[in-house]
Amino acid sequence: MSQRIKIKALLESKETDREVTVKGWVRTFRNNQFIALNDGSTNSNLQVVVDFENTDAALLKRLTTGAAISVVGQLVASLGKGQTVEVKAKEIEILGDCDPEKYPLQPKKHSLEFLREIAHLRFRTNTFGAIFRVRNTLAFAVHQFFQERGFIYLHTPIITASDAEGAGETFHVTNFDLANPPKADNGEVDFKQDFFGRATNLTVSGQLEGELGAMALSDIYTFGPTFRAENSNTTRHLAEFWMIEPEMAFYDLVDNMDLAEALLKYVIGYTLDKNKEDLEFLTQRLTEEEKQKPQQERSEMTLLEKLQFCLENDFQRLTYTEAIDILKESTPNKKKKFQYPIEGWGTDLQSEHERYLVEKHFKKPVILTDYPKAIKAFYMRQNEPDAKGHETVRAMDILFPGIGEIVGGSQREERLEKLEQRMDEMGIPKEELWWYLDTRRFGACPHAGFGLGFERLVLFVTGMGNIRDVIPFPRFPKNAEF
């Protein structure tokens, strides 16, 4: 097995006229002579030339689409179009047969909806091969970015008793018999008898625990799965997704924005460099898809141009108040084209508003800051009221074309009395977060952090339209298949 050479390496090889061993899955077998072989290391297939006159007919019949094979042969310069090298087969071994009558992935174009139904096999298509190689590169680049800057990778818990966002959309964790849970004297479920001795849930964010790490290690980041029991059947939401959440001591909001912008540019640039072939394929795929749309809905830039554009332009920074003024005076608002009209200050911005700012007004990524206190989480640092008496917090969201919000973050409220007051206003029990409040009692300092939804990043970089297509096995309402 160790003698095997990956197809990507063979296609890049300049060293021909040597014996090689290659293994993979048959994409096509034509004229009883040419096998297109793929092993997932690249979207490009390796052509294997079969001497059919001297090959057992029974073996030739087993060379069907999807079959796994091992080939020993001579790597030679190719005379055919589309490849520089090919393998002249000396020995072919069938490692796993594939019944062409039953195999759902025939060599033809399949819809993304159909491929979601067979997510266990969709990795074998060019589109999903490219997506998951890009996803892999992005994940590696995230770690490399933070490690180069001296950050500590912190594993925050997946099972927790806190709801960081205070939204209550959590999946509960219990080992009770759900049909007959133990009850306390007041008739309510007695969680003291549960596995952890209290009510627990799957995490919605590692932020609160991340702050604890930052208060000793200075700069930390988490990168792990998070869960939301939000009944959203949209192209932008998942019940299980991955989040990147750095927390930095001695950072203010500007430092936080600078880091987030640098991270996005770094990982996009790294992927453009490492996955050029995959991104060219995905660009072509998106261009073909956009031809089906009306002219006014098509993107002005190709996928590769859009990625390059994000690298070459500073992100536009403006306050929520400035954004509301722009949106209020915008043509779609005046002509009542927005589904959610902007009536004034305090409106919670929707995806359509965010995309207008990015795609129509500024035509580049946007960082919005200083949101109304009333629509943001309890832990965000409060600003002094402005001249109009507006109460805002030191929050920042990064908005990307085609996606809307991709990063959400803030400078955290380090002042104990302000934090406690805000928790009281929002009905968040202080006794349950005593450990979090301790970081404000013992050596508090200015600090900041943000969350980057990893799937939204992959969605942007691959140009895909549905978030269910950029995670291997999507979890969403009424679906936990595979």
Residues 135 and 29 placed together within one structural domain of the fold: no
Residue 166 has a pLDDT of 59
What gap in Å lies between CA 390 and CA 376, rounded to an integer?
A: 14
Residue 168 has a pLDDT of 63
Tokens encoding 440:
């404000």
User: Is 217 within 8 Å of 210 (Cβ atoms)?
Assistant: no
Number of domains in the chain: 2
Give domain status of residue 82, yes or no: yes
Residues 55 and 161 placed together within one structural domain of the fold: no
Residues 100 and 135 placed together within one structural domain of the fold: no
Q: Look up the pTM and report it.
A: 0.94
Residues 71 and 154 placed together within one structural domain of the fold: no
What gap in Å lies between CA 18 and CA 73, rounded to an integer?
A: 8
Residue 297 has a pLDDT of 78
Among candidate residues 104, 136, 154, the one where a domain is terminated: 104
**Owning domain of residue 150:** 126-169+204-469
How do 219-227 and 152-153 pair as beta strands? parallel
CB environment 187-213: b (16+ within 10 A), e (fewer): eeeebeebeeeeebbbbbbbbbbbbbb
Residues 264 and 220 placed together within one structural domain of the fold: yes
Using DSSP's 3-state secondary structure scheme, residue 261 falls into: helix
Residue 236 has a pLDDT of 81
Among candidate residues 104, 137, 156, the one where a domain is terminated: 104
Give domain status of residue 14, yes or no: yes
Residue 136 has a pLDDT of 98
What gap in Å lies between CA 318 and CA 450, rounded to an integer?
A: 17
What gap in Å lies between CA 11 and CA 25, rounded to an integer?
A: 16
Return the number of other C-beta atoms located less than 10 Å from residue 85's C-beta.
Answer: 18
Chain-centre distance for alpha carbon 403: 11
What are the average pLDDT values for consecutive 10-residue runs of the chain, which has 482 residues?
87 92 97 96 96 94 97 92 91 97 91 94 97 98 98 97 73 93 92 94 95 98 95 87 98 98 98 97 94 83 93 96 96 93 92 92 95 95 93 97 92 98 93 95 97 96 96 93 87
CA atoms within 13 A on the CB side of 275: 30
Give domain status of residue 117, yes or no: no
Q: Identify the DSSP state of 349.
A: P
Residues 402 and 277 placed together within one structural domain of the fold: yes
Q: What is the pLDDT of residues 427-454, one digit of tens each?
A: 998 998 999 999 999 999 999 999 999 9
